[in-house]
Structures are given as structure tokens and as C-alpha cells.
Amino acid sequence: MKRTIAMAILSFMLGAGRLSAADAWQAPSPQQIDSVYPQMVALYMDLHRHPELSLHEEKTAAKIADQLRKLGYDVTTGVGGTGVVGVLKNGPGPVVAIRAELDALPVPERTGLPYASHVTTRNDLGIEVPVMHACGHDLHMSVGMGTAALLAQNKDHWHGTFIYIGQPAEERIQGATAMLREGLFTRFPKPDFVFAVHDSAGLPAGKVGYTPGYSASNADSVDVTIFGKGGHGSAPQVTVDPIVIAARTILAWQTIVSRETNPQDPAVVTVGTIQGGTKNNIIPDEVRLSLTVRTYKEEVRRHVLAAIERIADAEAEAAGAETKPEVKVFESVAAVYNDPVVTGRVVAALQDTLGKSNVVQEPPVMASDDFAEYRRDGVPIVMLELGAADPATFAAAEKSGRVLPGPHSPLFAPDLEPSLKTGILVETTAVLDLLSQR
């Protein structure tokens, strides 16, 4: 019986139903990952030591472009500013892109790592600031380059087109839009799928998280200027105090979420700055407020933004202000929506590779990412959460209730080897699965 089954399998493989090399390679082996790891860890440390701020990623972009050219990619630079696009065509088949961010943050590194950043630079306002890869973009670039290397070295095992997108200015939610505006989906092969990972201290290294549907929120930055009538603090009766109007307005804004939106539709209205006045006994002419607004659904987004302006106008009118407040939405990004069907397929492939216990469903968050912009023209996107915390430290923190330093913290540092190797495994596996989809 065993001989009969074995002969049947052999006959199938040698006959019309024969398995192709592309079908056989579903994930990179540990040996394949080990073969590219030294180069990728060197790239990571170099990127980490030499971070650059959003819109100024010239040296970072040059390093990524150079690595891709050495791997045989068709490379274009200067897309949407400093953006890099590397294309590897390998016959007919799907077009799959990955996104890796180039930029770092104005954060002083306090990790104590031997390859820590000591970079300082002047920001766009001319202020000297420290710079750190505090959000793991250096890891994302290195993971993506590991994937790019494995695909270039194993072209006989897959078919289609693979694109590495090195995107600038994610931290200022401008880079994706800029690249798309400069023809990312028209000058280059339009992707059938775009994939990304984002590291996190919320999972231990070796695990990956997924969130079907909404996984990160819309984000809108709003500046509001309230105009009053200034004067001496001892004679408020002859003024229109914009500080009092601002105080009432801030409190009234809190009712937007608590009373105007469905409790099952998440929304956040946060006033992050208040600027007004120069002295304790002077009532100023105006007060400036800066808000961040987070939502998922587009209809909720529109309602919340309209309500912010409506309430500001009403409070100013109630106080007798002669000039309506000025409300400006100056920075916006859509919600990240992971295509549920594609997410399910990728998750199944990763469960086969990593084991079901290492692929866990995570709740959506109210943070934002301009990865959302790649959904344009109906392109499905998937972003997964890559565990980056040392497993023992993570377990101890969970037991004690301590929150580990995460992205945007000066203390954030991925547990490098398992995070990088797992990231390459996850991203290559996901890309291979997407390349096999028709």
C-alpha cells in the first residue's frame, strides 16, 4: 500500500499535475535567511547610526538604492522627494509591492546601544534637534532588503513582479501621497497588492500580529484660532476674553465623542497645544489651539470635523466675539484598512510557516500611518505587526503590568536578531503567497 501511494505521488509530480518550483517555495528556509542576515544586520546598524528627518532622507535613500542596484533591481530615485522604487520583473504573474519608510524622528536616543544614534541636525524651523530611528523604520528597511535579496537570489522559484518602495516622510504623513502624485502607480507596474510590517513592543520577537479591516485610524491635524478683544486683566468687562472662550470650547468639544457619535464608532478629539497671552494681567486678542482627531469611518470623520468648527463658532458667538474662529485642517491621512480576504490568505500562509501560536489577532489602534494611501484605485493592502520585544523581558513586563518602551520612545530598541530574522521570514512568506495569487 505504501509503495502504491508513493508511486502515485511520484506519477503526479512527473505528469501533467507536476508541481512547479514556484509552487514548491512557500517560505525561505533558515539557511536562506542566515545567508542574507549578516548583510542586513550591517545595513540596519548603519541606518540606525545615521538617521535622517522626514523630507531629508538623501543619504538613507542613496543606501537603499545602492543595495537594490547591487541585487539587480531597476532602481528609480527622487520619487516624491527622496523616494526610492526598485523593480524586479520575473515573467508573468502578480505585481506585489512592499513599503519601507526612510525617515526618523527628532528624538534623543537613550538606549545605550553600541550603534546608537548621536546625530543632531537642524529641522525645518532651523532648530537644532536630535535624530533617532525611534519608530523602527531602520528595521523595516532592513527586513524589506532581506526580502528583496532572497527574491533576487531565487528567481527560478517564483514569477511575477516585485517592487521595493522606499518611502520618505511617513512621520509627517506626506511621503505616500507625494510618491503616488509623482506616478508611483503609473510610471511603474501598478501593484496587485501592497504589503508592510511595523515593529511593536506589544508583541515578543518571533510573533506577528494581524488585524483584518481597520487597523489604524484616520488622522486629521486641526488648528483653531479664537479671536477676542484684548485689554487689561483688571477690566474684563470691556474685553472679549479668548482664553475663556477657548476653555469653554475645549470642554464642549469633548461632547462630540460622548454625545454626538455612535459609541461603537471610535473617535478621539485631543487638544494638544494652547497658546495665548503674554502676561498674567493682559487679556490677549487671540488664542491658538492645535488638535489631533482620530476616527475610522469616513462619515464619522466628516461629522467630527464639522462639529469642531460648529462648536467653536457657537462658543465665540455666545461670548460676543465679533470675528468667527479660524479652523484649518492642515494635515490628514486615511485609515489603514487591511483587506480582510487578502489578510486571511497571508495569515494562513504565515501560520503554516511560523505556527498558529505565533500568529495572533490584534485589536485596531488609534495611531495612524500613511500606508493607508496605497489603497488608491482599489489596491488591497495588508500591514502586519512585527513583534520586537525581547521575549523574556516581554513576559516579565506582562507579569508585572509594566509597559515596555515602544515606538517614538527614546528607549525603544528592537530585540535585533530575532526581530530582523522573523521580519524577513514574515515578509518573504507573505510576498511569495501574494505572488501565487491570481
Task: State the Cα angle at 267 between 211 and 213, rounded to 5°.
Answer: 20
Say which DSSP state 192 is in: S
Element (H, E) at 385: strand 381-389
Are 381 and 109 in contact by the 8 Å Cβ rule? The answer is: no
Rounded to whole angstroms, the maximal C-alpha distance in the chain is 102
- Distances 59 to 50, 66, 396, 408 between C-alpha atoms, Å: 9, 10, 39, 22
Distance CA 411, CA 111 (A): 5
State the catalytic residue, choosing from 101, 103, 220, 241: 103
Query: What SS3 state is found at 347?
Result: helix
State the catalytic residue, choosing from 170, 369, 373, 390: 170
Say whether 170 is catalytic: yes
Q: Does residue 345 come out as left (phi exceeding 0), alpha (psi in the -120 to 50 range) or beta?
A: alpha
Are 431 and 194 in contact by the 8 Å Cβ rule? The answer is: no
Q: Does residue 370 come out as left (phi exceeding 0), alpha (psi in the -120 to 50 range) or beta?
A: alpha
Distance CA 333, CA 241 (A): 34
DSSP 62-108: HHHHHHHHHTT-EEEEEETTTEEEEEEEESSS-EEEEEEE--BBS--
Instruction: Say which amino acid occupies 154.
Output: N
Phi and psi of 425, rounded to 5°?
A: -60, -45
Bridge partners (DSSP) of residue 328 are 223
Say whether 103 is catalytic: yes
Are 137 and 103 in contact by the 8 Å Cβ rule? The answer is: yes
Supply the residues annotated as catalytic.
103, 170
